[in-house]
Amino acid sequence: MTVDSMHMQPMLSAISRIRIDIRDYHPRTLLLFGSLARYLAGDPGDHLPNDVDLLVVTNNPPLPLLNRDYGCPVEFHRFTVERMVGIARTLRYDSRPVVLAKLYGNVLVRKHAIDVIAAAMLLGPGYGDLGIEQIEVNGMTDTRDYSIHRVLLGRIWWDQLRRYAQNRRGPLLRLSDKWSGNDRFMI
């Protein structure tokens, strides 16, 4: 067994256990992102992953899981269904300046870039085309791809939401969509 596989085994085991444990909270989707997702996608980065970053979309807070010991550091980010759909709706209908103001305003309020990362995951590798800029770390642009993620649960729902978000309609078409009743993502 290599050093890499010995380092990765507790994290992979944690993911398997979390997938089972979280089903009781009826998540719409469970996403692995961050350094571990990039590593598993073939982007080793400059160091091995040191934690498991998860984004769970559910209206049922998985509070008992947040403090459970999985044998490695696990960072849960919970979005309600409405919050995640709201980000997708913003990406679909709002003008670029409004989208960026909302996303980066949330970074300031929450002191975390999770909304920007969620938007990048929704848009895919082309998220920079919308104007989403890379996060800076110590004054240097972070070149890691924040759209890389792995769907652990709820692939159908996540794929539908991504298609909805990626189909940019803009503010003018929002009105026609509203008249025809096509402006909502069916939760």
HEC profile of 14-47: HHHHHHHHHHHHCCCEEEEECHHHHHHCCCCCCC
What's the rounded Cα separation, in Å, for the pair 185 and 89?
Answer: 8
Domains in the chain: how many in total? 1
Residue 7 lies in a domain: yes
How much is the pLDDT for 14? 96
* 186 falls within a domain: no
Model pLDDT, residue 179: 76
Quick one: pLDDT at residue 134? 65
Neighbour tally for 150: CB within 10 Å: 14
Q: How far apart are the C-alpha atoms of 52 and 182, rounded to whole Å?
A: 37
| pLDDT tens track for 114-150 | 999 999 999 999 898 888 876 666 777 777 888 999 9
Query: Does some domain include residue 187?
Result: no
Domain ranges, residue 131: 3-180
Q: Which residues of the chain have pLDDT under 50?
A: none
- Sequence letter at residue 71: G
Domain assignment of residue 91, yes or no: yes
What is residue 83's predicted lDDT score, i.e. its pLDDT?
Answer: 96
Q: What is the pLDDT of residue 135?
A: 64
